[in-house]
């Protein structure tokens, strides 16, 4: 009885659906790259725009988490000789991913708005 | 760039494809090759692969954290608490001896590990609940797989004997060649695999895999767990001449020395007692010779075999060679019941924070040189603890059970005063019953259901030995001490303490009279002297020739201290060699006219025996009364010849075997009550003890000597006469032992 109550309570607990920093950056890169979003361009985008040299393994780990949260979908391209016969895995943002991005932007903007002095210094 | 440097590292690609826990390995490999083609170095490639591996492992741990927590907790408990004292009683608590095989073996060998392995399942359950993937079937599967894997690992040493190697210098011990770190990793892997397989959704593939694993383990364990048996065993009837002369410590052996397990002069009842771990009085039925005929067992097995396994091996030997059929059961046996009395309970609830005194009951120490243990003191004691200590008092042999039926829970502080009366049955100790009554408790005799063993059938003679037993189990040379130090002279106030085994094969004796050592070494009867003792030793009344010994038995012959009584033959053999060497002794045996007895009939008053009774005599109600040791000897289904053989065990006055001259045929039941000290005090007045104080009459002895009781109660008589018997003769002996 106690066990079943406990499990019912746990069942009602919300799953974690917010974006971490790495997930946010990778998701933005996917949005920016559109149909060309796969591992190599995403890593270059992060290096160029965010100044972060992120290992490809870490990018795929973040993409895995985003896919589990249903924020991105993926599909395999055709194998090419310059990739040793391996296919590219293309990622595309989902409507849920777009919503998550908007919510995160709103939250961050609200938080930044609450810190005028810091904004002043930055400017 | 050389051709090799133009290509990405093959090993790194293989590692990435096969060892990295990720679903994107193929795409990731393509990405890395693409970047490498753009000019990245092989070092960069390796770094990316290692990071991908670390990230993958971290992701797996994060995804399956309940499984990893379970594996860590299980490994810690199993590896580090396996030998915990709190768990040692689990096999006994399960009454493993009473279970049918193979459950008895599993209970004896695996119960502790199983408890430790199953305990962390609670952690797995909690983790799965938090992850919202809890299912009872997952827990059951994980537990079952875990037990299967652990059983497989446990019996793998039997399956792969090369995994164990002998300990250098300790042939009786073996160690696992798998390094401890690897053992920990194997345990961790077993727990992880069990959790992973157990918690997977039950696809047909997983089900097939699990079934295959169980079948494989079952076959492997089944082959390995065939009921344990000695590699080779020789069994034969003991020579009557050997054992009828040594009734006081009839059975010898029952422990492993190197790769040999030996029992000497053991009755079938002795063997059953050892093999099934039951008290002799809990063995019912069987033929009347069960505790009379004696056997020699010399068997071979792996050095370091566990005692529980040795018990199972002895069971197998009894079943195979004697065709023993025994059935565990339950019978009510006479015992005691501790219950609430009529008056109100007068126990103080134990103080919760008082920790200076250990919890439990203890007999109170001797006070001012007065009588020992005048009472019991209990602190924060449960009724179960009181029952335990009461059992030791009311049944010194520990055979009579005592159960707590008070229904009182919790810890209590109380003192229980009583006057100790040695040899008196507990229910005849008014002061103990009064003491219990004063605190509101009652102790009464009752019939307590106890586990017993019923003997259905057993053969009187063992089946023949395998043909090569004599060649493969040759007689071993007489053992001798590896190293020994004799201290002479010694401080009398330190001793004497007879020679005995201590742990690790160390043997010590403290300031023992030299004559006593000689008598022990050559099994000279207690109240006889060897012939030819040198004059300097006979005339010594000053303990000048007492000697202390510190010695080490050879590796492999190191019985535990608890086996001292069963290892007297081995010890005496080594003592003989030591004394012969150090004192340059020369001895021989020769026939000399010796004072002996013959049992003759005067006016026999014997009752025809019930043939169903087990042949033998049992001492009952042995107690000290004044300067007498009163013994009630109950003999059943015994011939006068068999009784005559045993007299020297019961009558201290008879040093040598008694001949039967009664010419009475048939078996008889009879009882004899006598004072075991009466004959001795007549021969040796010093045994009478101090004379009573002036004006105080000596306490009269109410009992007669063994010989007197024999004549009065049975109409039999012991006739003294001289007859030639082999006795020890000392030809030569140095006064001073050789230097160490």
What mean pLDDT do residues B667-671 have? 91
* Total number of domains constituting chain A: 1
Q: Which residues of B198-218 are buried (b: 16+ CB within 10 A; e: fewer)?
A: bbbeeeeeeeeebeebeeebe
In a mutational test of the B interface, the residue from A53, A86, A87, A91 whose CB has the highest number of chain B CBs within 10 Å is: A86
Query: Who wins on pLDDT, B118 or B691?
Result: B118
Q: Are A58 and A36 in contact (CB under 8 A)?
A: no
For residue B341, what pLDDT is reported? Answer: 80
Residue B31: which of A7, A39, A79 has the nearest Cβ? A39
How sure is the predictor about B584, in pLDDT bands with cuts at 50, 70 and 90? very high
Nearest Cα to Cα of residue B640 among B605, B608, B666: B666
A97 CB-near residues (< 8 Å, 6+ apart)? A27, A30, A31, A66, A70, A71, A72
pLDDT bracket for residue B1 (50, 70, 90):
very low
Question: Which helix (H) or strand (E) segment is B399 a member of?
Answer: none
Q: Do B33 and A83 touch (CB under 8 A)?
A: yes
pLDDT reported for residue A122: 47
pLDDT band at residue B527 under the 50/70/90 scheme: confident
Higher per-residue pLDDT: B99 or B39: B39
Express as a percent the part of chain B with pLDDT over 90. 10
B14 touches chain A (CB under 8 A): no
Residues of chain A found within 8 Å of residue B23, distances taken between Cβ atoms: 64
Confidence label for A94 from pLDDT (cuts 50, 70 and 90): very high
Residue A123 pLDDT grade (very low, low, confident, very high; cuts 50, 70, 90):
very low
When pLDDT is averaged across residues B499-523 and rounded to a whole number, the result is 87
Q: Do A61 and B55 lie within an 8 Å CB cutoff?
A: yes
Tell me if chain A has a CB within 8 Å of the CB of B579: no
Bigger pLDDT: B619 or B577? B577
Hey, is the C-beta of B47 within 8 angstroms of any chain A C-beta?
yes
Cα distances from B269 to residues B104, B107, B261, B297, B706, in angstroms, run 20, 24, 18, 14, 27
Name the band, by pLDDT with cuts 50, 70 and 90, for residue A1. very low
Query: Is A117 a member of any domain?
Result: no
- Out of A10, A40, A89, the one facing B24 most closely (by C-beta) is A89
Per-residue confidence band for B670, with pLDDT thresholds at 50, 70 and 90: very high
The DSSP output letter for B714 is I
Cα(B190)–Cα(B203) distance, integer angstroms? 21
pLDDT beyond 70 at A78: yes
Q: How far apart are CA A14 and CA B723, in angstroms?
A: 100
pLDDT tier for residue B162 given thresholds of 50, 70 and 90: confident
Residue range(s) defining the domain that contains residue A61: 17-112
CB contact under 8 A, A7 and B132: yes
Kindly state whether residue A123 falls inside one of the protein's structural domains.
no
Whole-number CA gyration radius for chain A: 19
Q: Note which residues in 25-84 of chain A have CB less than 8 A from chain B.
A: 38-40, 43, 55-58, 60-61, 63-64, 76, 79-80, 82-84
* Range ranked top by mean pLDDT from A57-71, B2-16, B177-191, B380-394: A57-71
Query: What mean pLDDT do residues B389-409 have?
Result: 77
pLDDT attached to residue B225: 54
Q: Output the domain CATH number for residue A103.
A: 1.10.10.10
Chain A / chain B CB contacts < 8 angstroms? 90
pLDDT of residue B309: 84
Give the N- to C-terminal CA distance of chain B in Å, as an integer.
79
Query: In this structure, is residue A9 part of a structural domain?
Result: no
Does A62 reside within a domain? yes
Neighbours of A108 (CB within 10 A): 11
Asked if residues B262 and B299 have their Cβ atoms less than 8 Å apart, the reply is yes
pLDDT at A95 over 50: yes
Which CB contacts under 8 angstroms, 24+ apart, belong to A70-73? Answer: A70/A94, A70/A96, A70/A97, A71/A19, A71/A23, A71/A27, A71/A96, A71/A97, A71/A100, A72/A27, A72/A30, A72/A97
Contacts of A80 in chain B (CB under 8 A): 30
Segment (H or E) for B264: strand B260-267
Give the pLDDT score at B239.
77
- Of the candidates A7, A61, A79, the beta carbon closest to that of B134 is on A7
Does the distance separating the beta carbons of A84 and B8 come in below 8 Å? yes
Nearest chain B residue to A63 by CA distance is B24
Q: Quick check: helix, strand or coil at residue B550?
A: strand
CA distances from B632 to B230, B393, B672, B702 (A): 41, 20, 6, 13
Q: What is the mean pLDDT of residues B462-472?
A: 86
Which of B87-96, B110-119, B203-212, B509-518 has maximum average pLDDT?
Answer: B509-518
Question: Could you tell me which residue, B212 or B647, shows the higher pLDDT?
Answer: B647
At B128 the pLDDT is 85
Report the side by side order of strands in the sheet with B607-608.
B607-608, B668-675, B628-638, B616-625
| Chain B positions in Cβ-Cβ contact with residue A78 (cut-off 8 Å) | none
Using pLDDT thresholds of 50, 70 and 90, give the confidence band for residue A43. very high
Tens digit of pLDDT for each residue in B37-78? 888 899 999 999 999 999 888 888 888 888 899 889 988 888
Which of B27, B127, B133 would you mutate first to test chain A, the one with the most A CBs within 10 A? Answer: B27
Which DSSP string do the residues of B496-549 spell out, in sequence order?
A: -EEEEE-GGGEEEEEEE-HHHHHHHHTT--TT---BT--HHHHS--SSTT-EEE
Highest mean pLDDT of the ranges B84-98, B101-115, B352-366, B724-738:
B724-738
- Facing A40 at nearest CB: one of B26, B34, B54: B34
Residue B28, min C-alpha distance to chain A (Å): 7
Question: If you count them, how many residues does chain B have?
Answer: 740
Break chain B into its structural domains and give their ranges: 3-63, 65-224, 232-324+458-472, 333-453, 483-583, 594-689+698-729
In tens, the pLDDT along B141-158 reads: 888 888 888 887 777 776
With respect to residue A118, please indicate whether it lies within any of the assigned structural domains.
no
């Amino acid at each position: 009885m106690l066990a079943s109550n406990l499990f019912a309570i746990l069942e009602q607990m919300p799953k974690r659906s917010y974006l971490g920093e790495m997930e946010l950056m990778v998701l933005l890169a996917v949005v920016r790259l559109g149909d060309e979003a796969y591992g190599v361009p995403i890593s270059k985008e992060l290096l160029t725009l965010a100044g972060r040299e992120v290992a490809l393994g870490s990018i795929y780990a973040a993409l895995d988490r985003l896919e589990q949260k249903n924020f991105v979908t993926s599909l395999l391209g055709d194998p090419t000789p310059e990739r040793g016969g391996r296919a590219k895995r293309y990622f595309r943002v989902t409507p849920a991913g777009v919503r998550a991005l908007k919510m995160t932007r709103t939250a961050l903007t609200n938080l930044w708005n609450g810190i005028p002095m810091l904004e002043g210094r930055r400017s | 760039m050389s051709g090799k440097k133009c290509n990405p590292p093959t090993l790194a690609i293989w590692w990435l494809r096969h060892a990295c826990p990720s679903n994107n390995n193929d795409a990731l490999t393509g990405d890395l090759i693409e970047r490498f083609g753009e000019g990245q170095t092989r070092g960069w490639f390796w770094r990316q692969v290692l990071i991908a591996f670390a990230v993958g492992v971290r992701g797996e741990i994060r995804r399956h954290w309940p499984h990893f927590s379970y594996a860590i907790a299980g490994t810690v408990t199993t590896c580090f608490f396996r030998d915990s004292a709190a768990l040692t009683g689990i096999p006994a608590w399960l009454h493993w001896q009473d279970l049918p095989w193979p459950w008895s073996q599993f209970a004896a060998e695996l119960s502790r590990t199983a408890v430790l392995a199953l305990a962390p399942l609670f952690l797995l359950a909690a983790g799965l609940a938090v992850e919202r993937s809890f299912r009872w079937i997952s827990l059951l599967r994980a537990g079952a797989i875990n037990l299967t894997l652990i059983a497989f690992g446990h019996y793998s040493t039997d399956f792969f004997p090369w995994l164990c190697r002998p300990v250098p210098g300790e042939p009786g011990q073996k160690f696992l060649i798998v390094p401890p770190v690897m053992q920990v990793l194997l345990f961790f892997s077993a727990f992880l695999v069990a959790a992973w397989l157990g918690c997977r959704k039950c696809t047909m593939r997983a089900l097939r895999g699990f079934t295959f694993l169980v079948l494989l383990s079952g076959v492997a364990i089944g082959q390995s767990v065939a009921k344990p048996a000695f590699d080779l065993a020789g069994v034969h009837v003991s020579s009557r001449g050997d054992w009828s002369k040594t009734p006081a410590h009839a059975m010898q052996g029952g422990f492993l020395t190197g790769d040999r397990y030996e029992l000497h002069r053991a009755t079938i009842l002795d063997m059953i007692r050892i093999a099934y771990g039951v008290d002799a009085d809990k063995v019912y039925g069987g033929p009347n010779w069960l505790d009379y005929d004696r056997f020699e067992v010399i068997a071979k097995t792996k050095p370091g075999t566990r005692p529980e396994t040795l018990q199972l091996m002895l069971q197998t030997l009894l079943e195979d060679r004697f065709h023993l059929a025994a059935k565990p059961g339950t019978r009510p046996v006479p015992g005691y019941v501790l219950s609430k009395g009529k008056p109100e309970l007068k126990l103080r609830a134990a103080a919760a924070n008082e920790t200076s005194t250990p919890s439990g009951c203890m007999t109170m120490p001797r006070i001012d040189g007065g009588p020992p243990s005048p009472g019991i003191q209990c602190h924060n004691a449960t009724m179960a603890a009181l029952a335990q200590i009461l059992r030791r008092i009311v049944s010194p042999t520990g055979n009579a059970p005592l159960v707590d039926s008070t229904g009182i829970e919790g810890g209590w502080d109380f003192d229980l005063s009583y006057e100790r009366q040695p040899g008196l049955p507990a229910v005849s100790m008014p002061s103990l019953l009064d003491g219990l009554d004063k605190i509101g408790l009652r102790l009464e005799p009752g019939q307590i259901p106890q586990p017993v063993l019923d003997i259905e059938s057993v053969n009187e003679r063992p089946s023949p030995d395998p043909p090569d037993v004599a060649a493969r189990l040759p007689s071993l040379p007489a053992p001798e001490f590896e190293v020994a130090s004799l201290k002479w002279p010694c401080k009398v106030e330190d001793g004497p303490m007879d020679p005995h085994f201590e742990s690790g094969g160390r043997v010590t004796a403290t300031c023992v009279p030299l004559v006593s050592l000689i008598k022990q070494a050559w099994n000279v009867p207690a109240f006889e002297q060897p012939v030819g003792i040198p004059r300097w030793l006979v005339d010594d009344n000053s303990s000048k020739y007492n000697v202390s010994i510190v010695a080490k038995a050879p590796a492999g012959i190191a019985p535990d201290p608890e086996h001292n009584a069963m290892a007297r033959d081995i010890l005496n053999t080594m003592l003989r060699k030591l004394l012969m060497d150090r004192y340059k002794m020369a001895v021989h045996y020769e026939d000399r006219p010796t004072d002996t007895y013959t049992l003759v009939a005067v006016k026999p008053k014997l009752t025809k025996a019930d043939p169903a009774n087990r042949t033998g005599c049992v001492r009952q109600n042995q107690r000290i009364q004044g300067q007498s040791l009163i013994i009630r000897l109950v003999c059943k289904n015994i011939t006068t010849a068999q009784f005559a053989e045993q007299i020297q065990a019961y009558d201290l006055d008879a040093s040598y075997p008694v001949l039967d001259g009664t010419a009475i045929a048939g078996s008889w039941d009879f009882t004899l009550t006598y004072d075991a000290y009466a004959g001795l005090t007549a021969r040796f007045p010093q045994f009478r003890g101090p004379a009573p104080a002036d004006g105080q009459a000596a306490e009269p002895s109410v009992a007669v000597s063994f010989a007197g009781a024999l004549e009065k109660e049975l109409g039999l008589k012991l006739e003294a006469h001289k007859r030639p018997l082999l006795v020890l003769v000392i030809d030569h002996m140095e006064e001073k032992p050789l230097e160490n």
